[in-house]
Amino acid sequence: MLFELAFETVRPGALPSLIDTFERTVCTSGPEFGVLNGAWTTEIGTLNRFVSLWRYEDAAHRNRAQALRESDNSWSSYRASVQAVLAARSQRTLTPLLPGKERGDGYRLYELRTYDVLPGRLSEYIGYMREAIEDREMRSPNFGFWSLAEGNPDKFLHLWAYRDFNDRLEIRRAALSDPSWQTYLAGALPIVRRQRSFLMLPTAFSPLR
């Protein structure tokens, strides 16, 4: 299994049009183009940004999907409509480290966290998380832990879901009382170099919501 996060940042005021065009064109694509797992707009962090999460069977599936998109009329229409208002575009190919939930259930706030760990310590970090994740997920679900399939081997991303902003605050505060989370923090934090996060709202057509 392989995942891809795509980030498209547009000029102020252009985001609703991008989302509308995406839903009318790209969302009608079949699984041969990749499976859309989630689609969000950023609420806190870089604004005017659309984020989509795609799933592929493997690298060969991803390569075939990219080739199909280049010649597909719907994808060409989407790219052309976005190009005029696009400020930045990037993507990250991701390899799963721990399993995540596949379906949402009324979650209206998602948090994408990016961590950089000390060189060569990623497997150690994941070991700490593996011991704590079951208790942590009793409070809120995670939808993926990924490392980069290409690029920095000491960077990883994880995606959490909450009912709303207050739910996030309460859950994160309550998690600090869990012995397993305290053990995780004691082992993991000393090997983390940097943490970044932004909060996202699911679109009406997002499979994760």
- The whole-chain average pLDDT of the chain stands at 94
Q: Which structural domains are found in the chain, ordered by start?
A: 2-94 (3.30.70.100), 96-202 (3.30.70.100)
Q: Which of 131, 8, 106, 2 is nearest to 61 (CA)?
A: 2
For 119, the token pair is 């060189």
Report yes or no: 110 and 193 within 8 Å, Cβ to Cβ: no
pLDDT digits (tens, 9 = 90+) for 147-195: 999 999 999 999 999 999 999 999 999 999 999 999 999 999 999 999 9
User: Could you tell me the pLDDT band of residue 98, with boundaries at 50, 70 and 90?
Assistant: confident
**Is 90 exceeded by the pLDDT of residue 102?**
no
Phi-psi region of 50 (alpha: psi -120 to 50; beta: other; left: phi over 0): beta
The whole-number pLDDT of residue 29 equals 86
Give residue 85's Cα distance to chain centre: 23
pTM of the entire predicted model: 0.93
The terminus-to-terminus CA distance of the chain in angstroms comes to: 22
DSSP string, 22-87: HHHTGGG--GGG-EEEEEEEEEESSSSEEEEEEEESSHHHHHHHHHHHHH-HHHHHHHHHHHTTEE
